[in-house]
A and B are shown apart, each in its own frame.
Chain A
Amino acid sequence: MSNVSATAAPERLGLLRVLGPGHVWALGVGIVLVGEYMGWNFSVGKGGMIAGLVACWVAGLLYTCVAMIDSEVTSTVAAAGGQYAQAKHIVGPLMAFNVGLFLVMAYTMLEAANAITIGFLLDTVAGMLGHTGLNQQPFIIMTILALAYLNYRGVLASLSFNLVITAFAFVAIILLFLAVQFGASAVPLDFSAVSNEPLPYGWLGIVAALHFGLWYYLGIEGTCQAAEEVRSPARSLPFGTMAGIMTLVIAATLTWYVCSGLIPWEYLGQAGTPLFDAARVTGSSSLMVLLFIGTVFATTASANGCINDASRAWFSMGRDRYLPSWFGAVHPRYRTPYRSIVFLIPIALIFALGAPLDQVVTFSILSGLLGYTFMTFNMVMFRKKWPLGTIKRGYVHPWHPLPAFVLLVLCAATYFAVFLGYGTQLIAMLCFYILASLWFHFWRYRFVKRGDQFTMPWPRPQGY
């Protein structure tokens, strides 16, 4: 810092615009790809192999709608905070506050879940090498702090790192598929359960499987958070997001195919690391090492992207005074929202060290699901207030309002699926957001500079 003086700094500090479409892809896919390495397989446990595949593709359809809708709105509302900024401009302040909280909670809890997973993976490796009783805490804390520091030092290094490790994790899945397909596995693919036990728990099993089908894609909407740091938001954001969802649909389908063919569905439905377990079943040491590294990289990339996204959402709310304006600070040298990054570290640590993994992930999924529900009527209102031809859009998604309608129906089905397994958490989460909304409405909103928060130079909306 010694070579940077206060007088040399520019008059106004902002986030650095240094990212390209590859970084956007790395942010979105990086957050999500861990879902292929673990978690999705509980859908198989809920309803069998067919239910797992249906959940994979139905959730894929849900997230394709999310990606299309997000690409259109974000290419127009190109601001840090992503869906929070969209809600602020299109719906209103209370919705924006809630969406901001959904984002921060979803990403911070996902970050905590990833850190827990890294601790679990190291414990597994230590156990395989003969060491029992590994203390996971220092590794969980180190993971969160090291990635937070990377984010603190600059977005370009942080997301370039994500690009490399995410690409590695994706290529590892492709290589496993090719190796198994071309006979490198000691155990042949076996899909006899598809005909023998197609739906062991009936049609309700398919609905129940939807809850965990979200894991394949949960977080792809995080690409929007990079809006204020990409060089060309109107081009890079739709390109990175749509390329990201295509990557994930391919990765999800290959993952289901390889794991379901190699591992009996009763075991697969409870496995902690299904892709790594599939590699172990092949009997190839090279594939085992490859998929272990892929699992660690996917988990690290997810935690890294989550820190990036949660801090941008928190920063944006601070900048608009929805939270104390202290959080809206930008580092004068690294140009990152450094106070938000540091503030969210202890919150992630509390969840990572003090809450069970399934609860943390369920709260993350629920917050994400609330955000997807918002997107449906946000999209309808956006097209109604600013129809095509009134403002410049970087991307126009086809068949409106069909994607919004499909998304709403799939969200409703997923709420039902979550209620079947985690009804108490669903109600607790809704109570939390209602209380937070009351606090915002009756206390916090008085501090918001109401005229300053609407920054887009758009024409007056239709009907106003």
Chain B
Amino acid sequence: MDIWNYLEIAAWVISAIIAGIMLLDMIKVDTTYDNELLTSSREGELELTQERHEL
């Protein structure tokens, strides 16, 4: 076992932690908030409110 073997193990552990954090947060958000709200984004709202395409 040299430093590179320890780095390999560290990379596996870090990967598992990051994947766990992301999945847990995603599950938490999906169970806390209504799906209607989460998918309420609409394209082009800036144009409607600020940048009307008029000359």
Chain A residues packing against B (C-beta within 8 Å)? 1, 6, 9, 11-15, 17, 76, 78-81, 85, 126, 129, 131, 134-135, 138-139, 141-142, 145-146, 148-149, 152, 228, 233-234, 316, 319-320, 325-326, 328-333, 338-339, 342, 389-392, 453, 455-458
Contacts and interface: CB of A to CB of B under 8 A. Distances in A.
A144 B53 CA distance: 39
A392 to B, nearest CB: 5
Given A12-B41, A85-B43, A316-B43, A342 B26 contact: yes
Contact of B38 (A330, A453, A457): A330
Given A234-B51, A458-B53, A319 B39 contact: yes
Closest 7 pairs between A and B when the two form their complex, measured CB to CB: A455-B44, A138-B11, A329-B38, A142-B11, A391-B53, A131-B4, A12-B40
Interface of B: 2-4, 7-9, 11-12, 14-15, 18-19, 21-23, 25-26, 28-29, 32-35, 37-48, 51-55
A142 B47 contact: no
A1 B32 contact: yes
Contact of A328 (B15, B21, B28, B41): B41
Given A78-B46, A145-B22, 10 more contacts: A1-B32, A9-B33, A14-B41, A78-B47, A79-B44, A131-B2, A139-B8, A149-B21, A319-B41, A330-B39
Contact of A17 (B4, B12, B42, B46): B46
A149 B18 contact: yes
Chain A interface helix/strand/loop/mixed: loop
Query: Max chain B CB contacts within 10 Å: which of A129, A145, A152, A338?
Result: A145
Contacts, number: 135
A329 B51 contact: no
B37 A6 contact: yes
Tell me if B's interface is mostly helix, strand, loop or mixed. helix
Contacts of A78: 46-47, 51
Nearest to A325: B39
A13 B41 contact: yes
Contact of A13 (B2, B28, B40, B43): B40
B37 A9 contact: yes
Contacts of B15: 138, 141-142, 145
Contacts of A139: 7-8, 11
B34 A6 contact: yes
A125 to B, nearest CB: 9
A80 B26 contact: no
A455 B52 CA distance: 12
A282 B39 CA distance: 55
A460 to B, nearest CB: 13
A338 B37 contact: no
Contacts of A234: 51
Contacts of A328: 39, 41
B11 A339 contact: no
Contact of A138 (B8, B37, B44, B48): B8
B25 to A, nearest CB: 7
Given A1-B29, A391-B53, A456-B47, A15 B4 contact: no
Contacts of A12: 37, 40-42, 45
B19 A392 contact: no
Contacts of A457: 44, 47-48, 52-53
Contacts of B11: 138-139, 141-142
Contacts of B29: 1, 331-333, 338
